[in-house]
Each structure stands twice: as structure tokens, then as C-alpha cells.
Amino acid sequence: MSALEGLAVGDIVAEREIVLTRDSLVRYAGASGDFNPIHYRDDAAASVGLPGVLAHGMLTMGAAVQPVVDWAGGAGRVRDYQVRFTRPVVVSPEDGALLAVSAKVGAIDREARTARIDLTVRFGGDTVLGKAQVVVALD
């Protein structure tokens, strides 16, 4: 039986809690080249009216899709991934930021052998990515 045959709309295929720390932000800045100081300096974030240092949006987006990548069997199965950034993720210097990710089957295209996985990504009880959808190819 293929993964597609056993799948139904509404199935939760992955759930994960992900901790982002200030170290995560520094590492991501180095890897991405995004050294905007709002991502690592409290004074810079405060100077532009932010409540604290923010996680990079693309770091949040990348971390959120990883449970689906793991479930699907690798990044090569991802055909499309889109999100809307709805709220910032403030990363505390002491506690970091805890993202709660839930991935649920939103649609299945049996002819194309793909499934649309809808992500719910929360931080502090608030949804931080809107209309987060991943299309994956399945056997």
C-alpha cells in the first residue's frame, strides 16, 4: 500500500514543538546573510518599536515545514510551499521561543499523486503563519 492510499483529508500527519533560541537566530543570520540587527539586538528591535528580537520569517517558515519534510520522506517530495506571515515570533534571551506545529491533510489529488498539507504554526497561542500550505508528492 502506498502512503497516498492510506491518507484521508483531516489526517494529522505530523506534530512538533520547535524551540528557537538567540543562538538559532545568529546561526541563521550567518547562513542566510540576513544580519538585520532586529534579529539579534534588543536595542535595535526597541528602536523601531518592536517588542523584542524577532526570529527571521524565513527561519520560522523553514522550521515549520520540517515535520512535513520528515513525514513525506525528504525535501525532494515538496512541490510547493507557501505561507503568509501574520505575527512576529519574539525570541526571549532566556527562554527562546516555542513554536507548535501541526500538519493536517487539507486536500488529496489522487491523479497527480499529491497531498496538500495545511500547517498550523503557533507561538504563545497565536497563529504566526497564515495559509501555510505544503504540496507533497507521494507514492
Residue 72 burial class via C-beta count within 10 angstroms: exposed 0-12, middle 13-18, buried 19 and up = buried
* Burial bucket for residue 12 (CB in 10 Å: 0-12, 13-18, 19+): exposed
C-alpha 139/C-alpha 132 separation (Å) is 23
Q: Which domains does the chain have, with CATH numbers?
A: 12-20+56-137 (3.10.129.10)
pLDDT at 139: 83
Mean pLDDT by 10 residues, the chain (139 residues): 79 98 97 96 97 97 98 97 97 97 97 97 97 95
**pLDDT recorded at residue 3:** 66
